[in-house]
Amino acid sequence: MEPIRLLLADDQALVRAGFAMMLSVEEDIEVVGQVTNGQEAVDFAAANPVDVILMDVQMPVLDGIRATEQIVAAGWAKVIILTTFEREDYLFDAIRAGASGFLLKNADPDDLVGAVHAVAGGHALLAPEVTVRVIERFARHLHAESAAAGVPAPAGPQPDPAQQNLLQSLTTREREVLELVATGLSNAEIAARMFVAEATVKTHVSNLLAKVQVRDRVQAVVFAYESGLILPGEAAREA
């Protein structure tokens, strides 16, 4: 099998060197390049075959969010955002830009390798802690908009009719699985919660992603909130 072609995008040389050192020892991962800003990441991905990009957010010239948006839209590579919870304000924007995963910069080497494998294999990576913060971000954004307009913020989002129609297309079981996905649970954890086989959960997840027209679990979290299936605070209580 061809190795996973990985690009590192971070303006801190020590961070790039550390990730490169950890990942280069893996036989099925090849670090094909290192860049110092988002524009360089866009240019590299446009000119070279890349499977996965580890993308920092705060970088000069072009930040990681805008770079991710361009790269994903063009279909050049999948992106894992490198983040810290101190900059949680970027999480929602990164999801919107099309990032397939989020990883803390102090992640263990095994978690880093696992994240690269998961995203390269077409899976999304969204930890429960990140899920909670994404939902909280939605809630804060909603209240900020309402405050600016001088009106009381509603208890939850105002679902789009089209999204409501997509939600109604789900079976009862698929809605239940979507609710659990939106709390950050893995397929194995959902299977244990629902007392079914993990393969059954995978089938439900594949079906619901197709029905609500989202590409991965990360986007499913956004849909679950925007459609009104999950309200602010519910993911935090579940997780």
Per residue in 149-204, pLDDT tens? 554 444 444 556 777 788 889 999 999 999 888 877 778 889 999 999 999 999 99
Chain-centre distance for alpha carbon 35: 22
pLDDT average, residue stretch 82-107: 74
Highest mean pLDDT among 24-33, 42-51, 188-197: 42-51
**Strand (E) or helix (H) holding 31:** strand 29-35
Residue 7 to residues 92, 129, 148, Cα–Cα distance (Å): 23, 26, 41
pTM: 0.68
pLDDT at 66 over 60: yes
Lowest mean pLDDT among 56-65, 98-107, 196-205: 98-107
| Per-residue model confidence (pLDDT) at position 196 | 93
Distance CA 29, CA 26 (A): 5
Q: Between 238 and 124, name the one with better pLDDT.
A: 124
The separation between the first and the last C-alpha atoms of the chain, rounded to the nearest angstrom, is 37
Q: What structural domains does the chain harbor?
A: 4-120 (3.40.50.2300), 128-238 (3.40.50.2300)
Q: What share of the chain is helix, strand, coil (3-state, %, to 5)?
A: 55, 10, 30
| Per-residue model confidence (pLDDT) at position 54 | 95
pLDDT average, residue stretch 70-88: 83
- From the CB of residue 158, how many other CB atoms can be counted at a distance below 10 Å? 8
Question: What's the burial of 106, exposed, middle or buried (CB within 10 Å: 0-12/13-18/19+)?
Answer: exposed
The residue among 135, 44, 39 whose CA lies nearest residue 95 is: 135
